[in-house]
Structure 1
Amino acid sequence: MYVDVQGNRVFTDQPKPGDARRVPLTKSNRIAANPTSAGPLIAEGSPEVQALFHYEVLRILIPEPDATIRSNTGEVIVSATNEPALQPGHHYRLLLDGQPTAEPGLSPVFPLSNIDRGSHTLSVEILDEQGRIVERTANQPFHMQRTSLAQKRRIKPCTLEDYGQRPECPLSDRPGEEKNPFLRLF
């Protein structure tokens, strides 16, 4: 360390030309650890816990991240892949918006139907025999576009005969019939 011409302290591992001097180092305060003779703490007679199997790859192939799905029925097929292959006793489970969509199964293909309009997240889990999560994908967003009743109404406006017949034309929205003042006379 030295002080430069502006009065700043400079810390460096390079000596300043001229008045550099060696600083003696004292012995460190290090203590060796005592070796222990105790073995691993495993209870007698208890079964050994097996380490969970690790999959190198688990990802959702379809739909792609941030994909927009256009389906008026709200249908989408989710497909996942993993490496290595699914181990015996392991099962796939699909989560839609953090909730399981069905019971765990052996197929990495999940057909979904009647998904609401808007943004959703998908995630796939692999479960072992005890139902523990072995591997899980990150939440992957997708967007479902469905034609709403208001959009159908704009495309094909309701006529008087359509009220009560088409879902986008409920009877409660039916306009009152026009009163013709001349009909009373006849």
Structure 2
Amino acid sequence: MTLTTSSSYRIRAALILSVLVVLLFGAVQAGEIYRHVDDQGNVTYSDEPPEKDTKPMELAPLPEVSIPSPERPSNRQNTQEEDTEKTQEREDYERVEIVEPEHESAFWHGGGMVTIRARTEPELIQGHSYQLEFDGERGDTNSSGTFSLNNVDRGTHTVVVHVLDSSGQVITSSDATRFTLHRPSRLN
């Protein structure tokens, strides 16, 4: 990819601004911030005064934000049209749960690798299988309950694991689990 001079400057300016904001907010947490302009006009920020007579900057207090904890959505679908055999199979499973990653967890992986692990209680019945639903799209099936995803985009994702019978019909499903993956931006 070829960048024009103005695009390159914009990217550098955005990166410098981002670093500056992180440093400023981090320093606010740690103590006072000092701004210094040297003889060449270069501006520096520090948590230590560059000169003895320098006064700290007056910064407005950071706003406090409280985020309510979201309710864990349920993806269990119960219909009144289930026949007796399907109802019996559903009752065979007391629980279907995703054990990895934890709900509302956040973690870092530069390559975007994510492992999803699910289990049932009691253990999976022979002939049944697990199916992964990642961000609303159904995908792989297996009998182990472990799914490895590669090159997952950074951001928040939702996974659900379904238990399928031998004909591929959904018997029961786990609750939705949300996680946030941190990884480097494609711009860097």
Deviation of 1:101 (Å) = 3.0
- The 5 A counterparts of 1:1-186 are 50-52=85-87, 53-54=89-90, 55-102=93-140, 104-150=141-187, 152=188
Structure 2: gaps spanning 5 or more residues: 1-82
The aligned amino acid for 2:111 is T
How far apart, in 1, do the equivalents of 2:85 and 2:101 lie?
Answer: 34
The aligned amino acid for 1:99 is E
Cα distance change of structure 1 residues 62 and 89 upon mapping to structure 2, 3 Å threshold: same
How far apart, in 1, do the equivalents of 2:157 and 2:144 lie?
Answer: 22
Cα distance change of structure 1 residues 138 and 146 upon mapping to structure 2, 3 Å threshold: same
- Cα displacement string for residues 11-61 of structure 1 (whole angstroms, at most 9, x for unaligned residues): xxxxxxxxxxxxxxxxxxxxxxxxxxxxxxxxxxxxx96234121011000
Structure 1: gaps spanning 5 or more residues: 1-47, 153-186
- How many residues are aligned here? 103
Deviation of 1:99 (Å) = 0.7
What SS does the aligned partner of 1:124 have?
Answer: strand
Deviation of 1:88 (Å) = 1.6
How far apart, in 1, do the equivalents of 2:152 and 2:182 lie?
Answer: 9
Deviation of 1:84 (Å) = 0.9
Runs of 4 or more consecutive aligned structure 1 residues displaced over 2 Å after TM superposition = 48-52
- TM value normalised by structure 2: 0.52
- Cα displacement string for residues 106-127 of structure 1 (whole angstroms, at most 9, x for unaligned residues): 1111111110111110100000
Cα distance change of structure 1 residues 149 and 131 upon mapping to structure 2, 3 Å threshold: closer
Is the contact between residue 163 and residue 172 of structure 2 (CA under 8 Å) also seen in structure 1? yes
Whose helix fraction is larger, Structure 1's or Structure 2's? 2
What SS does the aligned partner of 1:119 have?
Answer: strand
Is the contact between residue 133 and residue 159 of structure 2 (CA under 8 Å) also seen in structure 1? yes
What SS does the aligned partner of 2:116 have?
Answer: strand
How far apart, in 2, do the equivalents of 1:87 and 1:58 lie?
Answer: 12
How far apart, in 2, do the equivalents of 1:125 and 1:50 lie?
Answer: 18
Between the two proteins, what is the percent identity of the paired residues? 32
- TM value normalised by structure 1: 0.52
What SS does the aligned partner of 1:130 have?
Answer: coil
Cα distance change of structure 1 residues 49 and 117 upon mapping to structure 2, 3 Å threshold: same
The residue that corresponds to 2:15 in the other structure is: none
Is the contact between residue 69 and residue 76 of structure 1 (CA under 8 Å) also seen in structure 2? no
The aligned amino acid for 1:76 is V
User: Which protein shows a greater Rg?
Assistant: 1
Relative contact order (C-alpha < 8 Å, sep 6+): which is higher? 2
The aligned amino acid for 1:50 is E
